Chain A
Amino acid sequence: MSAAAMRAGGRVRSSTRLGRRLARPGLWFSLPALALFALFFAYPLFASLLQSFFTTKGGVSRPVGAANYVRLTEDPLVAQSLVNALIILVVQVPLMIVLALGIAYVLNQSWLRWRTGFRLAYFLPAVTTLVAYSVVFRVMLATDGGLVNQLLGVVGVPPVDWLNNEVWAKVALIASITWRWTGYNMVIILAGLQAIPAEQYEAARVDGAGRWATFSQVVVPQLRAVLVFTTVTSTIGALQLFDENFILTGGGPNNATLTPVLYLYKVAFRQFDFGYANAIAWLLVVIITIASALQFWFTRDRDARPRKAVR
């Protein structure tokens, strides 16, 4: 990206003559976006920060200083939602990225037959609507007679209470997200693989490198930027998890799948405690900013750019 950014800078500079003459049209073209951002982004962002220092219980708003933030540190549900998110992302993200990398690598081999068919099959889950696939998984994971338990029964595994057991509910959530997003990440990694010049494989072969050595010492280092990108966007996605656990478990059982965004939703729109909900939101902002900053740090000088997770 850095090369393209430099090129971009050059272009803008080279267009200053045009730019000077048409100074106002630029503003006109950008005005809708500017107005929308001001009204629906900058203002609410500021309002949310301000309101996090107020309490709005009972319909009247009064300042409470940092009380909402103190409450964050004392609220067991905040701690639990963060721990849940951490467990989910520590297990799910590496699992998914390793799977996606492995599948992409195999699907990039020229000797493989039916490559297009395999790619299509693995990518198709990324084409589903989030709520719809969560609904389907909820039905498939039903304890009595659900598809998954029936298949397990065929190989002699007794029925698992997927959505009502604190451990299995997390497993179910992780499995669902992995199903939905592995193919998506595979396609990103595949694009990265195809950007590796063939000479590099040739050079490795001439040097007598085996298959594993080629993979770990030629392919993976070349994919560094892509792997950091997929890891960070997946991490941010996991931190913002809402649709899947809202549909699958509603955050249960016993808050075992409560995530920060789901908790924020409950505090704001079930308890109508807006001030406190905004404090939770800003905790999320801080955490996600740290995750984004880590991406900048890992990819400084490298060929990747920050982008909001698609989820």
Chain B
Amino acid sequence: MKRLGLVAAYAALALGAVVSLLPFWWMAIASTHTTSELFATPLPWLPGPQLLENLARLEQSTEFARVMLNSLGIAVVYTIFSTLVSAMAGYGLAKFRFRGRGVLLGLVLLTMMIPMQVLLVPLFQMMASIGWIDSYQAVILPFLANAFGIFLMRQAFLDFPDSLVEASRIDGAGELRTFYRVVLPVALPQLAALVIYTFMSQWNAFIWPLLMLNTETSYTVPLALNRMIGLTHVDYSGLMLGSLLATLPLLLVFLFFQKQFIAGLLGGAVKG
């Protein structure tokens, strides 16, 4: 009886795991077949010979290499500046009393509560009025200050001993130097988690880039995929390959930095 229950438990777990993994397998397999094969009976279950053809067609129709570079560039620049802004503000909030501290804390709390969609129309009008539509800075700038990041970094710096900051000052280091030579290195684990979280959120970003970018060569990956499904003749195998390429960078980051990845994804959800 107990043995039977055990077998059932493993079977249920395995079935769930198959459901979880099947779309990945299908995405990879579908990238290597022609579109008509994707809907034929029986379906192909093993890799086919079409990968390079699909890649060439994808590159020809959407300049996918350029699109990947756009996404990568935007995500990297966004991540660097957003993390820096978060770390600085988090340090300021954790270690200093100053005028405007309450205002910033209030804003941090408010941005966590208010859905970003309420900002879409006014931000769109703002970008239109300064002529920034279809520019990368319009994609990057409005969401650089990130409440979650500030919150995370503030938590990280709270435990940093004041005496070390004092010691660094006595050694004659300036405030900025103290910040990046003494304080920042201590928060490296949290910084790594925040970098991954920030990169992923920008890599995923859809609605705001969709509003801002309207030249196909400046598209990010999600926008290019969205354009492809809207065409009269959808190149399904190209689409699957594009989806695979969109997922691959995140998968790689995940496999190499599992611990930080999960910490970043969970953020402040669970302590420790």
Which residues of chain A have a CB within 8 Å of any CB of chain B? 1, 4, 7-8, 11-12, 14-16, 18-20, 22-30, 32-34, 36-38, 40-45, 47-48, 51, 103, 106-107, 117-118, 121-133, 135-140, 142, 144-147, 150, 153, 179, 183-184, 187-188, 191-192, 195, 226, 229-230, 233, 236, 239-240, 242-243, 246-247, 261, 264-265, 268-269, 274, 277-278, 281-282, 284-285, 288-289, 292, 303, 305-308, 310
Contact = CB atoms under 8 A, between A and B. Distances in A.
Contacts of A269: 124, 211
Contact of B126 (A11, A44, A127, A307): A44
A20 B98 CA distance: 8
A40 B118 CA distance: 12
Given A37-B145, A145-B41, A44 B122 contact: yes
Given A139-B239, A284-B115, A310 B267 contact: yes
Interface in B137-151: 141-145, 147-148, 150-151
Contacts of A123: 262
Secondary structure of the B contact surface, majority rule: helix
A89 to B, nearest CB: 14
Interface string B144-171: 1101101100010011001001100000
Contacts, number: 312
24 contacts: A7-B158, A12-B97, A12-B158, A14-B162, A26-B95, A29-B96, A29-B179, A30-B88, A33-B150, A36-B85, A47-B122, A107-B13, A124-B24, A126-B265, A129-B203, A131-B225, A147-B22, A183-B20, A187-B265, A236-B115, A269-B124, A277-B120, A281-B118, A284-B115
Contacts of B251: 124, 127
Contact of B104 (A19, A37, A131, A274): A37
Interface stretch (B46-54, B56-64, B187-195, B242-250): B242-250
Interface in B111-126: 111-115, 117-126
B194 to A, nearest CB: 13
B88 A40 contact: no
Given A44-B123, A127-B254, A281-B120, A135 B247 contact: no
Contacts of A41: 107, 110-111, 119, 145
Contact of A127 (B38, B91, B148, B250): B250
Which 8 A-B pairs give the minimum distances between C-beta atoms?
Answer: A26-B96, A145-B39, A29-B92, A26-B98, A33-B89, A44-B122, A36-B145, A131-B222
B67 interface: no
Contacts of A195: 270-272
Contacts of B100: 27, 30, 34
A261 B117 contact: yes
B13 A32 contact: no
B161 to A, nearest CB: 10
A143 to B, nearest CB: 10
B112 A36 contact: no
A147 B45 CA distance: 11
B80 interface: no
Given A118-B13, A122-B20, A246-B206, 6 more contacts: A33-B89, A44-B119, A129-B221, A129-B243, A243-B206, A281-B120
Contacts of B266: 187-188, 191
A308 B148 contact: yes
B117 to A, nearest CB: 5
A193 B239 CA distance: 39
A122 B16 contact: yes
Interface in B15-29: 16-17, 19-24, 26-27
B9 interface: yes
A242 B270 CA distance: 27
Given A28-B175, A29-B89, A32-B89, A307 B267 contact: yes
Contacts of A44: 118-119, 122-123, 126
B196 to A, nearest CB: 11
A242 B104 contact: no
Contacts of B270: 188, 191-192, 195, 226
A139 B271 contact: no
Contact of A40 (B143, B221, B226): B143
Given A26-B96, A29-B91, A40-B143, A133 B114 contact: no
Contact of A30 (B23, B92, B243): B92
